[in-house]
């Protein structure tokens, strides 16, 4: 599979006619949505996938803007040959309302005053963000999305889509998130907001045209950033290494590299993000609670999509048990849901970094891989051959599993390098004495998942692929399957 880039892309802007009623009861009269698309919408408009971004994300999910060095924020999984394969799918990503990356937010001009909204911007919710996206999807003429997908706050939006618009979504990909914000989430968000609001430059949100509250916003980002990493990844990345010094400074300048890194992250963030947007978006996250009458089961009653729920082993902000809670509630409604944990030390940030595992899991969910996509041509040996001939065949072809055939191709057994070595030890000479006769086989149109399960069940590492007549047409090895993950890295 060749994995490429979608190339140079542009952000589009769509003005929602009729404005947007909000969950608070207020209404936003003028709403612009910034969005990008990659790939082509097919004739029956059935191949659209909506990507949802996290707190500080934007519409630029893949490819490059003219002149940019760095690609969009989820370029690792979007593009030709990648999980969100732009040769097959029409991929859409829009900036959330309340943000500061082109969609209407607190830094936008309030049409009724001609000045930036500031705190006059109404408080919005994850539901409001999704309702705005629905209007964009309607505008694009798409009745049903092939999938919605997102990590962190993007995962919340994806869940909200499946709940609010059950007929408009076929698949939900929900990564590193929760179905409701817990007090620890709220607590970290509140600290970030306090940091911004304690900065005198914040001036009750009215700082546009003046000095923005950069110290407060940087502090908020520093706290947030710690929660996105794991203790282990920080230990590997920074340890206790000092920054540009040989010994402790014994003062309050920067001593450690990790301090310098956080300060840099904070400083870079204030250049690209609006402090008021940070307040509004964290508030939307706090308010997010899919539970209905206190029950997540009840929240998912009307859901029609199939789900892939993914968590990260080292994510302590949205730990695996919070994903499992989603899986349990979906399952209890009879919803078709797969669950996977990304094995990673990168903590919450893994959903932006672990390209190999993400591509494998997501592409398999969107477009299940079949045995024929991965099987290799099989070297076989006739059952009347000698053990020496079998050993030579293995050596020549560099394989350790040989299907044994009779009558010109029908499978009658399998012999492995281990069998050969057993024959040497026991002075056997006939293939017949060492080959396994009850050989487990697979068909070319079975899914890889089924094949992998068969291998695990029988504790074997290769499966001959046979046709209806029992003829060997290929071989599937665990090496072949694991290479699939490798290809996506």
- Could you tell me which residues are annotated as the binding site for substrate? 221, 349
Does the footprint of its own copies cover residue 286 (CB under 8 A)?
yes
Contact by Cβ (8 Å): 390, 367: no
Does the footprint of its own copies cover residue 48 (CB under 8 A)?
no
| Overall residue count recorded for the chain in this entry | 489
DSSP string, 152-221: THHHHHHHHHHHH-GGGBSEEEEES--SB--HHHHHHHHHHHHHHHHSGGGGGG--TTS---HHHHHHHH
Compose the 63-102 pattern: x for residues touching its own copies by CB under 8 A, - for all others: ----------------------------------------
Distance in angstroms between the alpha carbons of the first and the last residue of the chain: 12
Among 252, 408, 459, 469, binds its own copies (CB under 8 A): 252
Cβ proximity to its own copies, 235 vs 487, nearer residue: 235
Does the footprint of its own copies cover residue 258 (CB under 8 A)?
yes
Among 35, 188, 273, 300, binds its own copies (CB under 8 A): 188
Compose the 315-354 pattern: x for residues touching its own copies by CB under 8 A, - for all others: -x--x-----------------------------------
Please state the closest distance from residue 331 (CB atom) to its own copies, in A. Answer: 22
Give me 189's structure tokens. Answer: 């968000």
Does the footprint of its own copies cover residue 30 (CB under 8 A)?
no
Give me 154's structure tokens. Answer: 């993007």
Cβ proximity to its own copies, 108 vs 276, nearer residue: 276
Please state the closest distance from residue 282 (CB atom) to its own copies, in A. Answer: 10
Cβ proximity to its own copies, 171 vs 283, nearer residue: 283
* Tokens 């300060």 found at: 263
Does the footprint of its own copies cover residue 140 (CB under 8 A)?
no
Phi, psi of 465, deg, nearest 5: -95, 125
**Residues whose CB is less than 8 angstroms from the CB of residue 407 and which lie 6 or more positions away in sequence, other chains included:** none
Cβ proximity to its own copies, 19 vs 200, nearer residue: 200
Which of positions 95-134 make contact with its own copies (CB under 8 A)? 119, 122-123
Other beta carbons within 10 Å of 415: 27
Question: Which residues make beta-bridge pairs with 405?
Answer: 382, 411
Contact by Cβ (8 Å): 201, 214: yes
Among 103, 181, 311, 314, binds its own copies (CB under 8 A): 181
> How many helices and strands, by DSSP H and E, does the chain display?
17, 19
Catalytic residues: 152, 315, 348
Cβ proximity to its own copies, 75 vs 255, nearer residue: 255
- For 418-427, the CB contacts below 8 A with 24+ separation are 420/387, 420/390, 420/391, 420/394, 423/387
Among 262, 310, 442, 466, binds its own copies (CB under 8 A): 262
Cβ proximity to its own copies, 289 vs 449, nearer residue: 289
Cβ proximity to its own copies, 102 vs 213, nearer residue: 213
**Residues whose CB is less than 8 angstroms from the CB of residue 277 and which lie 6 or more positions away in sequence, other chains included:** 98, 99, 100, 105, 106, 107
Alpha carbons 160 and 183: distance in angstroms, whole number: 20
Q: How many residues bind its own copies (CB under 8 A)?
A: 56
User: What's the DSSP call for residue 210?
Assistant: S
Does the footprint of its own copies cover residue 191 (CB under 8 A)?
yes
Among 36, 58, 85, 255, binds its own copies (CB under 8 A): 255
Which of positions 266-285 make contact with its own copies (CB under 8 A)? 279, 283
The number of angstroms, rounded, from the C-alpha of 232 to the middle of its chain's C-alpha atoms is 21
Please state the closest distance from residue 434 (CB atom) to its own copies, in A. Answer: 45
Q: Which of 121, 110, 118 is nearest to 26 (CA)?
A: 121
Question: Which residues make beta-bridge pairs with 35?
Answer: 12, 94
The number of angstroms, rounded, from the C-alpha of 63 to the middle of its chain's C-alpha atoms is 17
Binding window for its own copies (CB under 8 A); candidates: 60-68, 210-218, 405-413, 462-470: 210-218
Alpha carbons 370 and 375: distance in angstroms, whole number: 9
Please state the closest distance from residue 28 (CB atom) to its own copies, in A. Answer: 13
**Binding site: residue ranges?**
221, 349
Please state the closest distance from residue 136 (CB atom) to its own copies, in A. Answer: 24
Which of positions 229-248 make contact with its own copies (CB under 8 A)? 229, 231, 234-235, 237-240, 248
Among 3, 223, 440, 450, binds its own copies (CB under 8 A): 223
Does the footprint of its own copies cover residue 186 (CB under 8 A)?
yes
Give me 404's structure tokens. Answer: 């044994």
The strand ranges marked E within 345-387 are 381-382
Alpha carbons 440 and 416: distance in angstroms, whole number: 13
Cβ proximity to its own copies, 176 vs 391, nearer residue: 176
Binding site for its own copies (CB under 8 A): 24-26, 119, 122-123, 180-184, 186-188, 190-191, 193-195, 197-200, 215-216, 218-219, 222-223, 226, 229, 231, 234-235, 237-240, 248, 250-252, 255-259, 262-263, 279, 283, 286-287, 289, 316, 319
């Amino acid at each position: 599979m060749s994995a490429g880039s979608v190339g140079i892309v542009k952000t589009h802007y769509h003005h929602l006619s009729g404005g947007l009623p909000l969950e608070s009861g207020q209404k936003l009269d003028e709403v612009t949505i910034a969005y990008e698309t990659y790939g082509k919408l097919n004739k029956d408009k059935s191949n659209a996938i909506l990507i949802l971004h996290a707190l500080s994300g934007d519409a630029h999910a893949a490819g490059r803007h003219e002149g940019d060095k760095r690609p969009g924020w989820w370029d690792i999984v979007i593009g030709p040959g990648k999980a969100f394969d732009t040769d097959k799918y029409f991929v859409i990503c829009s900036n959330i309302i309340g943000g500061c990356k082109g969609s209407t937010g607190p830094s936008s001009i309030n049409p009724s005053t001609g000045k930036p909204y500031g705190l006059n911007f109404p408080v919005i919710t994850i539901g409001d963000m999704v309702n705005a996206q629905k209007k964009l999807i309607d505008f694009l003429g798409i009745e049903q999305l092939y999938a919605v997908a997102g990590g962190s706050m993007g995962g919340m939006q994806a869940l909200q889509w499946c709940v609010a618009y059950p007929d408009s979504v076929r698949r939900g990909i929900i990564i590193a998130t929760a179905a409701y914000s817990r007090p620890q989430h709220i607590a970290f968000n509140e600290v970030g907001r306090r940091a911004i609001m304690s900065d005198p430059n914040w001036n009750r949100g009215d700082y546009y045209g003046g000095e923005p509250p950069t110290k407060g916003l940087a502090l908020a980002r520093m706290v947030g950033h710690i929660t996105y990493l794991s203790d282990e990844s920080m230990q590997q990345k920074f340890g206790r290494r000092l920054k540009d010094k040989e010994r402790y400074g014994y003062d309050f300048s920067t001593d450690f590299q990790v301090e310098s890194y956080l300060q840099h992250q904070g400083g870079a963030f204030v250049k690209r993000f609006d402090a008021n947007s940070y307040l509004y978006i964290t508030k939307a996250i706090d308010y997010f609670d899919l539970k209905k009458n206190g029950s997540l089961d009840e929240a998912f009653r009307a859901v029609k999509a199939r789900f892939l729920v993914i968590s990260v082993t080292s994510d302590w902000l949205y730990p695996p048990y919070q994903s499992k809670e989603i899986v349990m509630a979906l399952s209890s409604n009879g919803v078709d849901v797969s669950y996977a944990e990304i094995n990673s030390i990168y903590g919450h940030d893994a959903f932006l970094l672990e390209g190999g595992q993400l591509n494998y899991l997501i592409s398999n969910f969107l477009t299940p891989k079949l045995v024929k996509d991965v099987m290799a041509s099989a070297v076989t040996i006739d059952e009347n051959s000698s053990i020496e001939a079998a050993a030579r065949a293995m050596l020549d072809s560099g394989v350790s599993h040989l299907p044994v055939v009779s009558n010109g191709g029908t499978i009658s057994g399998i012999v492995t390098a281990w069998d050969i070595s057993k024959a040497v030890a026991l002075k056997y000479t006939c293939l017949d004495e060492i080959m396994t006769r009850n050989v487990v086989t697979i068909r070319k149109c079975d899914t890889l998942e089924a094949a992998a399960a068969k291998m695990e069940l029988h504790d074997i590492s290769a499966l001959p692929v046979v046709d209806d007549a029992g003829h060997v047409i290929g071989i599937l090895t665990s090496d072949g399957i694991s290479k699939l993950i490798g290809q996506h890295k």
